[in-house]
Copies of this chain bind each other. A is one copy, B any other.
Amino acid sequence: MIIDSDILGYVAATLTTTAFLPQAILTIRTRDTDGLSLSMYSTFTLGVLCWLIYGICLANNVIIFANAITLFLAILILSFKIYNTFFKSKNDEN
């Protein structure tokens, strides 16, 4: 079976990024981050950053493309979470 691995990679990247989008759009629109864990989201964002650097090291455009988009969204959401946790209400700590 002949599979163009780059096409498969872009399909994979599109699917996992698409699955992440509704959560990202909801959080960006409402700026409600109560349902998100700061430690989990920090770990995820750091992980995606490492994947992006890994993609750059390998000069793999699929990994770079997938993780650049996800990192952008993850940093936005993490910023809202950090703002809501530490600056908006100091009594409401997660």
Q: Which residues of A contact B (CB under 8 A)?
A: 3, 5, 8-9, 11-20, 22-23, 37, 40-41, 43-44, 46-48, 50-51, 53-54, 57-58, 62
Contact (Cβ within 8 A) B12 A47: yes
Main secondary structure of the interface of A (DSSP, over half): helix
User: Chain B contacts of A22 at CB under 8 A?
Assistant: 37, 40
Closest B residue to A6 using CB positions = B54
A47 touches B5 (CB 8 A): no
CB < 8 Å neighbour of A8 from B9, B20, B40, B57: B57
Q: In the complex, are the beta carbons of A54 and B43 less than 8 A apart?
A: no
Contacts of A13 in B (CB 8 A): 47, 51
